[in-house]
C-alpha cells in the first residue's frame, strides 16, 4: 500500500508499527478520500511526536496509531480515527487546538480536546486529578460520544503494553481500568472491548491469581470441550429438524468473569463449573423464541435462570435470550440465543449503529440509550467535589439493574439495591422532592425499601413536602443523591442566614442593641467593607462559622461605628464588655446546630458550644475532654443554654460492663426497652473470659429520662459497672 511508504520518512527508525494495518482496515469500509485524511493525520502526528518514545522504547506515534487500529476494527467514521491518531498532540506537543481545527476540522479538534488529559491543572491529590479528568471526559461525551470511543481505545492499547510501567503504576492503572473503563465499555455495549480490558486489568492487578486460574482452565479445557462439542452437535440437529437455521458456537468464559464469580459465590476454582457456554445466532426474533423451545426440549432448563433481554433490553442496548441447561452429569451450560443484528450490537455496541453523518432520522436505539444516560451526568456537576462526582458515576456505571414499572406501564431501569426514593427521583426530580409515601404492588411500603425486579411502584406526593436529609444515607443512584444534596445546600443556606442573625443579635446585646436597631446604611457599609454581596451573605458566613459574630457586632455597634479596624482577636475580645445572653438551643435547629458524638450532651447537662468553620455550632458537655482543645480558641466559644422544652430526642451512649453469660445482652436491651427508650446502636467489647463491655446508643428526652434508664440497668444482677461515654481527647469537630 502506497500510503505507508509516504509516511516512512517522517518516522524514527523508518517505520511505524501498525500503520499498514490501520490503513488496510480503514480502506475496507471507508472511501479513498477519508483514508487519505487518516494517512495525513498519521503523517502530522508522527512529525509532532518526533523524538518522543514510549516506556517500551518504541516511537510514541505507535500508540495513537494502534488506538486508531482498534477503532477501525469497530468501523467508526474517519473523524474518530483521525482524533485517535492525534489525541495526545495538544497535551504532549506544541500544537494548539486551533491548528488542529484548521487542518482537520472543528469536529476532530473538539474530540481531541475532550480526551486531552489535565496535567496542566494543579490538584491537591492524585485522586482529585484523576476524578477531575474523568469528569471532563464524561461531560465531553455528552456533546460527542466519539470522545469516549477514543478514550477507551487509548486505554485498551495502554493496557496491552502496560509491562513497560513500574509495578506500582501498573497496579494503579489496572485498578482504574477494572473500576471505571471496563464497566463504561460495557455500559456503551462495547462487549468485546470490555472483556479484553477486564482480562488485561486482572492480569496486571493480580498476576499470580491470573496465572493460577489460567493454568487450571487449560487443564480443564480438553475434557469440557469434548462434551460441549457433543451438546452443540445435538442442538444443531434438533434445530435443523425444526427448520431453524442457526450458527451454534461454543464460547469460553473469560478469566476475570471466572474470578468475579469465585468472589461472589465464595467458591473454590474447582467449584466453578460453567467455564464454557453456547451461543446460537439465528435470523429473526421469532426464531429466537422457537430456538429456545428446541433447546429446552433437548436439554432440561435450570429453574430461575432464564432471562429475556429481547423483550426488555439492557440499558446499553444488549439483547439476547439467556438460559442455563443441565448438561451431562448435571453440569450447567449457559446458552445465549440472539439474531445476527443483536450479535453485532453485543460485540460492537454503539459503534454498530454509528449515525453521526447519516441524517436519516433518529439515532439507533443503542446510541440513544447511551446518550440518555450520559445526559444525566450534567445534573451531577453541582454534586460537590470531583471525587464525589467520580464515586457517583462509579455507582451508575455498573449494569446490575432492576426493571420496575410505573402505574402506567412505563419501564424504568435502576441499579440493584435502589430504593423507593431512587425510583421517585428517576421519574422526576420534583416527584422525588415531594415524595411522602409509596405503594409497591399496591401495598404501602417504607421509602427506604429496596425494590425488586418486576415491581410496580406508585409514588404518593404532597404539595408542601420536602426531601428528608436522612434519605442521602440510603439512596444508591447518583441522580437522587445529587438532587437531595442540592436541596440540602439551599436549606443549609437559609438555616445559616437565620443562625447568623441570631449570633449577631446575641453579640449586639452587649451594646443593648439588635439588628433591628442598625440602620440599613450602616449594615450596607459593613457588608461592602468586608467584600460581600449583601447582608444575607454576611449572615450566612457568620452562621457557618466563617466570620465571627463579635467582630461583626463591633463593626455595627456604637463603640467603634464603621471602624475599619482589622479582624484581630484583640479587636473582638473587650474585657470591659458584659457577657452576652446565652444562645438558646432546643435540638430543632436543623443542619447548622449539631451535638458532639464524643460526649453526647442531653438537656439538663451543663453545655458550651464551639463555632466550627463551615459546620456551624457544635454543642459539647462542659466536662467533655475535647473542650480543653477549644480553650486555645476563645474567640470561637459560644455561651449556650437549653430551651425550656426541647422538641426532639437526643442520643446518649452508655458503657455497661457485664458478667459474661448467655442472654445478658438481650436482658439489658429488654430492660432499656422497658423504659420506653429506643436503642439506635449496640456494640460489644470483650475484656476477658469473665467480663464484656456493652455499648448502647440510646435516644432520650433529657437527663432525667437518661437517669431513669441508668437506674434500671444498674440494678440488674449481671451489671458490674455503668457509665456515660465521655471523650478522651479525640477532636471529632
Please, are residues 363 and 372 in contact by the beta-carbon 8 Å criterion? no
Cα 437 to Cα 409, 418, 445, 487: the distances in Å are: 20, 16, 7, 19
Alpha helices in 274-353 (DSSP H): 285-298, 340-348
C-alpha cell read off for 333: 451450560
d(CA 135, CA 272): 38
pLDDT for position 499: 78
Question: 129: which DSSP letter?
Answer: H
Q: Give the model's pLDDT for residue 365.
A: 53
Tell me, yes or no, if 92 is annotated catalytic.
yes
User: Measured at the alpha carbon of residue 247, what is the angle toward residues 245 and 252, in degrees to the nearest 5?
Assistant: 155
For 301-323, give the DSSP string.
Answer: BPTT--EETTTS--TT----EEE
Q: Between vectors from CA 21 to CA 19 and to CA 26, what angle results, nearest 5°? A: 95
Q: How far apart are CA 399 and CA 618, in angstroms?
A: 41
Q: For residue 227, what pLDDT is reported?
A: 73
2-207 in CATH: which number?
1.10.3210.10
Instruction: Determine which one of 92, 341, 571, 733 is catalytic.
Output: 92
Indicate the domain borders of the chain. 2-207, 212-351, 370-483, 486-636, 650-724
Element (DSSP H or E) covering residue 34: helix 32-48
- CA pair distance 537, 432, nearest whole angstrom: 29
Q: Cβ distance 280 to 295 under 8 Å?
A: yes
Report how far residue 401's alpha carbon sits from residue 78's, in angstroms, rounded to the nearest whole number: 35
Number of alpha carbons in the 13 Å side-chain half-sphere of residue 416? 4
**Whether 686 is catalytic:** no
Q: 597 is written with which cell numbers?
A: 458524638
Strands, DSSP E only, in 214-320?
Answer: 247-252, 276-282, 307-308
pTM of the predicted protein model: 0.54
CA distances from 725 to 609, 618, 698 (A): 18, 17, 12
CATH value of 370-483 in 1.10.357.10, 3.10.450.750, 3.40.50.2300, 3.10.20.30? 3.10.20.30
The CA distance from 147 to 31, in Å, is 23
Give the pLDDT confidence score for residue 287 in this predicted structure: 94
Alpha-carbon radius of gyration of the chain:
33
6, 42 in Cβ contact below 8 A? Answer: no
SS3 601: coil
What single DSSP character describes residue 53? Answer: B
Residue stretches of the chain with pLDDT short of 50: 1-14, 117-122, 353-363, 382, 560-579, 729-733
Residues 6+ apart with CB under 8 A from 203: 174, 210, 255
Query: Whose grid coordinates read 460489644?
Result: 684
Q: Give the contacts of 263 (CB within 8 A, at least 6 positions apart).
A: none
Bridge pairing between strands 593-595 and 616-621 = parallel
Report the CATH fold assignment for 212-351.
Beta Polymerase; domain 2 (3.30.460)
In whole angstroms, what is the distance from residue 470 CA to residue 388 CA?
Answer: 18
- Residue 87: other Cβ atoms inside 10 A: 28
Could you say which of 21, 36, 47, 91 is catalytic? 91
Instruction: Give CA angle at 211 (206, 214), nearest 5°.
Output: 120
- Please give the CATH architecture assigned to the domain spanning 650-724: 2-Layer Sandwich (3.30)
For residues 270 and 217, the answer to whether their CB atoms sit within 8 Å is no
Amino acid at each position: 500500500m502506497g500510503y505507508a511508504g509516504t509516511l516512512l520518512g517522517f518516522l524514527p527508525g523508518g517505520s511505524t508499527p501498525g500503520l499498514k494495518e490501520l490503513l488496510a482496515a480503514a480502506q475496507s469500509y471507508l472511501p479513498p478520500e477519508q483514508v487519505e485524511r487518516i494517512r495525513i493525520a498519521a503523517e502530522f502526528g508522527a512529525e509532532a511526536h518526533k523524538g518522543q518514545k514510549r516506556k517500551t522504547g518504541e516511537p510514541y506515534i505507535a500508540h495513537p496509531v494502534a488506538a486508531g487500529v482498534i477503532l477501525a476494527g469497530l468501523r467508526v467514521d474517519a473523524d474518530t480515527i483521525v482524533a485517535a491518531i492525534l489525541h495526545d498532540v495538544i497535551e504532549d506537543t506544541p500544537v494548539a487546538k486551533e491548528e488542529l481545527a484548521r487542518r482537520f476540522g472543528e469536529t476532530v479538534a473538539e474530540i481531541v480536546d475532550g480526551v486531552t488529559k489535565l496535567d496542566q491543572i494543579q490538584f491537591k491529590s492524585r485522586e482529585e486529578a484523576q476524578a477531575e479528568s474523568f469528569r471532563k471526559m464524561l461531560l465531553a461525551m455528552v456533546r460527542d460520544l466519539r470522545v469516549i470511543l477514543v478514550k477507551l481505545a487509548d486505554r485498551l492499547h495502554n493496557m496491552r503494553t502496560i509491562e513497560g510501567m513500574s509495578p506500582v503504576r501498573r497496579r494503579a492503572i489496572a485498578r482504574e481500568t477494572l473500576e471505571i473503563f471496563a464497566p463504561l465499555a460495557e455500559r456503551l455495549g462495547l462487549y468485546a472491548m470490555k472483556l479484553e480490558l477486564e482480562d488485561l486489568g486482572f492480569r496486571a492487578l493480580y498476576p499470580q491469581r491470573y496465572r493460577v486460574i489460567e493454568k487450571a482452565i487449560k487443564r480443564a479445557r480438553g475434557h469440557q470441550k469434548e462434551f460441549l462439542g457433543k451438546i452443540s452437535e445435538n442442538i444443531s440437529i434438533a434445530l435443523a429438524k425444526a427448520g431453524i437455521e442457526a450458527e451454534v458456537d461454543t464460547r469460553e468464559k473469560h478469566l476475570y468473569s471466572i474470578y468475579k464469580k469465585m468472589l461472589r459465590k465464595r467458591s473454590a476454582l474447582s467449584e466453578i463449573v460453567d467455564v464454557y457456554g453456547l451461543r446460537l445466532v439465528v435470523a429473526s426474533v421469532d426464531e429466537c423464541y422457537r430456538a429456545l423451545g428446541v433447546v429446552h426440549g433437548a436439554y432440561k432448563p435450570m429453574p430461575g435462570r432464564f432471562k429475556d433481554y429481547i423483550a426488555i433490553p439492557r440499558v446499553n442496548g444488549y439483547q439476547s435470550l439467556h438460559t442455563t441447561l443441565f448438561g451431562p452429569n448435571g453440569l450447567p451450560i449457559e446458552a445465549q440465543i440472539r439474531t445476527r443484528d443483536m450479535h453485532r450490537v453485543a460485540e460492537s455496541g454503539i459503534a454498530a449503529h454509528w449515525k453521526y453523518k447519516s441524517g436519516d432520522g433518529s439515532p439507533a436505539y443503542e446510541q440513544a440509550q447511551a446518550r440518555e444516560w450520559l445526559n444525566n451526568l450534567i445534573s451531577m456537576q453541582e454534586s460537590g467535589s470531583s471525587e464525589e462526582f467520580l464515586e457517583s458515576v462509579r455507582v451508575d456505571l455498573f449494569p446490575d439493574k432492576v426493571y420496575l414499572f410505573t402505574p402506567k406501564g412505563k419501564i424504568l431501569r435502576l441499579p440493584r439495591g435502589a430504593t423507593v426514593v431512587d425510583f421517585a427521583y428517576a421519574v422526576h426530580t420534583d416527584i422525588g422532592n415531594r415524595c411522602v409515601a409509596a405503594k409497591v404492588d399496591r401495598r404501602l411500603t417504607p421509602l427506604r425499601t429496596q425494590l425488586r425486579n418486576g415491581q410496580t411502584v406508585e409514588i404518593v406526593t404532597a404539595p408542601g413536602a420536602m426531601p428528608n436529609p436522612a434519605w442521602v444515607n440510603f439512596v444508591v443512584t447518583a441522580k437522587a443523591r445529587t438532587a437531595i444534596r442540592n436541596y440540602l445546600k439551599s436549606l443549609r443556606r437559609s438555616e445559616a442566614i437565620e443562625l447568623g442573625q441570631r449570633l449577631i443579635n446575641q453579640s449586639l446585646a452587649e451594646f443593648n442593641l439588635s439588628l433591628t436597631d442598625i440602620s440599613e446604611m450602616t449594615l450596607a457599609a459593613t457588608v461592602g467593607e468586608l467584600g460581600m454581596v449583601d447582608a444575607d451573605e454576611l449572615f450566612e458566613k457568620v452562621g457557618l462559622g466563617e466570620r465571627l459574630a463579635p467582630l461583626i457586632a463591633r463593626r455595627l455597634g456604637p463603640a467603634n461605628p464603621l471602624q475599619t479596624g482589622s479582624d484581630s482577636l484583640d479587636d473582638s475580645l473587650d474585657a470591659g464588655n458584659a457577657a452576652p445572653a446565652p444562645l438558646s438551643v432546643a435540638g430543632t435547629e436543623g443542619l447548622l446546630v449539631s451535638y458532639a458524638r464524643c460526649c453526647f450532651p442531653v438537656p439538663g447537662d451543663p453545655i458550651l458550644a464551639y463555632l466550627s468553620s463551615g459546620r456551624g455550632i457544635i454543642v459539647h458537655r462542659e466536662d467533655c475532654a475535647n473542650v480543653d482543645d477549644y480553650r486555645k480558641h476563645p474567640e470561637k466559644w459560644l455561651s449556650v443554654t437549653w430551651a425550656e422544652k426541647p422538641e426532639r430526642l437526643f442520643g446518649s451512649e452508655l458503657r455497661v460492663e457485664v458478667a459474661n453469660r448467655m442472654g445478658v445482652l438481650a436482658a439489658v436491651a429488654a430492660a432499656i426497652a422497658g423504659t420506653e427508650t429506643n436503642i439506635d446502636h449496640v456494640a460489644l467489647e470483650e475484656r476477658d473470659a469473665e467480663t464484656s463491655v456493652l455499648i448502647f446508643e440510646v435516644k432520650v428526652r433529657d437527663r432525667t429520662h437518661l437517669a431513669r434508664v441508668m437506674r434500671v440497668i444498674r440494678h440488674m444482677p449481671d451489671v458490674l459497672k455503668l457509665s456515660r461515654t465521655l471523650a478522651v481527647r479525640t477532636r471529632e469537630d
